[in-house]
Amino acid sequence: MLYIKNGIVVDPKNKIKAEKMDIFIKDGKIVEEKDVKKSECKVIDASGKLVVAGGVELHSHIAGSKINTGRVMRPEEMRYVRLVAGKFRACVGRILMNAPAIGYEYAKMGYTTAVEPAVPPIGSPHTHEELDSIPMLDKLALPVFGNWHLVLKFVAEKNIEKLKAFIAWALERTKGFGVKVVNPGGVEAWMYGGNMKSLDDKVPGFGVTPREIILSLVEANEKLKLPHSVHLHCNNLGIPGNYTTTVESIKLASKFSNDKRQVLHITHVQFNAYAGDSWRNVASGAAEIAKAVNSENVTIDMGQAIFGPATAMTGDAPFQFTLHKLLGARWSNKDSEVESGAGIVPIAYLPSNPVHTVQWAIGLELGLLCDSNKVVIATDYPNGGPFTEYAYVIAMLMSKKMRENELKRVHQYAQKATVLPTIETERTLEEVINMTRSLPAKILGLENKGHLGIGADADVAIYDMNPLEVDTSSEFEKVYKVFKTALYTIKGGEIIVKDKELVKEVWGRTFWIDATKKVDPSLIKQDLEDYFKYYTVEIENYGVDEAWMRNPQRIKVV
């Protein structure tokens, strides 16, 4: 049992704004004082310290074939040793860290839950093996659906019942948590040398459009009542002028209603927020996107670019080839059966580069212009840069003065191509805690995450700052230092970081969704048998069994 004493608690979900409170923990949960014996509790004196829920990472590529290929393509990363100490395992990698380092670095920041957002379904055993190698965190994985032949077939047939049955089957087999869609139809078109340039282009061989794919998957997802909405990577990522496609995709949400959560989550929007018609006149389309986000039942994450090394890796093979040609950089392309594709390109963001400066500014614009109940802090690790720089993003959102200082050191093209210099908004502490805790948990449908209410998972972060005494607008350097490393991180009631140092390794759960009771599996039996004639594995050997996983947590949808 733990007794966190006299902390200054910020808990947006429960409308607690910097109040002095005690927190009690028993059996991995937040409990009432009457449920513990104080004399038997381990006491943490949090007087004058900020106490919040553990961070929830909504979108970070932390496991699977893409990140492993990225590691191979950047051997210099493996020469960077981060930590070899006592009972903790060796940590290597500067940006593309190995599995132990990922878990440790998130824990040191005060994060306790993370989502791997793009799993090639046939690669799910590999992904789960790697997720099981990441300590400290609870984890979730999102298999990709937007170019899977069976999805395209059922969309073409306008058969939502079969699509529902297929989603339920796929989530069970991959032990996935929700429906991810990457460049719908575009990766399939790439097999024929094309792409989807508009929502109404037709996918070769199937005659369906990205608009139809998105709408059908959202309809099936909503009818299944899955905890998380469709998680969409829009068409035309990384192309000047693509903000119009993003706005059009966001407006598709108007065809659905859901009182409990968003009906569509748009991911790493910075990469889909470009105005202009070439890289010579690229500019920000963030303001128009923010208007659409604020008026529709959607949420987004920023996809913030961080200056320095990064590695582009997405299930969007056409974009990665375009980036390879643009940069002349190394490139890897992957094609996964009849399911998906992917590409990997090492990159770096430079403050002296006008395009990179615009990308950096757009992410911040989205974080400032969108309603704080609709936008989540994320870098799309490693695409936009390391998650270890979330403290930098937080400080920038909270301080106009810091933004003004940074704008002086970057390429001045940002002054005319973005609206960042004119934005007066400064996020409050409650807003950034919401954007890193309460909101991502709500978006995912994880009711016991992201808050400190009774019954919540005992995932807690304590930071060395009294929020009642700090002017976050002017003391931005202190804000950065504070959020860089937590004073304490508590995972499931166990102290894993103390005095900013790792003290214990723990293993979290992997959540997955079981919706099989909501569908009739016989609807797709023949379709599966027909399509698996083209696979390199038999259907009986496809996917992941719970017995193979370190600590699976099944969530049944009934």
* Contacts for 283 with CB less than 8 Å, ≥ 6 apart: 274, 275, 276, 358, 417, 418
pLDDT digits (tens, 9 = 90+) for 389-421: 999 999 999 999 999 999 999 999 999 999 999
Domains of the chain: 2-53+457-501 (2.30.40.10), 108-444 (3.20.20)
Q: What is the four-CA torsion angle of 187, 190, 196, 201, rounded to 10 degrees?
A: -110
Q: What SS3 state is found at 238? A: coil
pLDDT digits (tens, 9 = 90+) for 361-379: 999 999 999 999 999 999 9
- Helix 400-409, helix 390-398: angle, nearest 10: 110
Burial 259-277 (b: 16+ CB within 10 A, else e): eebbbbbbbbbbbbbbbbe
Q: Is the peptide bond preceding residue 382 cis, with omega within 30 degrees of 0? A: yes
Q: Could you tell me how far CA 456 lies from the centroid of its own chain?
A: 21
DSSP state of 440: H
Using CA atoms, how far apart are residues 407 and 357, in angstroms rounded to an integer? 9
| Portion of the chain with pLDDT greater than 70, in percent | 99
- Rounded to the nearest integer, the mean pLDDT of the chain is 95
pLDDT band at 72 (very low <50, low <70, confident <90, very high): confident
pLDDT digits (tens, 9 = 90+) for 328-367: 877 787 777 888 888 888 899 999 999 999 999 999 999 9
Global pTM value: 0.96
